[in-house]
A and B are shown apart, each in its own frame.
Chain A
Amino acid sequence: MNRLTFSRRDFVLGAVAGTAAGAGIATALFNRKPPPDVASGNNSVFHTDRAGRITTPSFITVDQARCSGCRICEAECVLIREKSFDFWRSRVRLHRFEPSLDIVSLCAGCADAPCVSVCPPEAAALSRDSRTGAILLNESKCIGCQACIKACAKDRSAVIRISRDGKKALGLCDLCGGDPACVKACPEQCLSIVPANVDGKNMAASPAIIAGQVSRSVYRSERNN
Chain B
Amino acid sequence: MSTSLLRPTSPFLFPPSLCRGFATEVTHRHPKKPPRPNLHTAVILNRSPILTRTPTPFERAYYAYQTRIQRALHNPFPYEFYFKPGSLLESKFNLEERKRDRKAFGPGFGADHPLAPGAGVSAQDLKKFGRDEDETPAPRVHASDDSGDLKSLDRKGQRNLYLLVKQKTTDAAATVWRFPESEVTTDGELLHESAARDLRGLCGEAMDTWIVGRKPIGLYEIQPPTALPDSVPFPKTCVFFFKGHIMAGQVKPSESVADFAWLTKKEIEKRVDEQYWGGVKDMLSDF
Q: Do A and B bind each other?
A: no
Q: Spell out A's residues near B (CB within 8 Å).
A: none
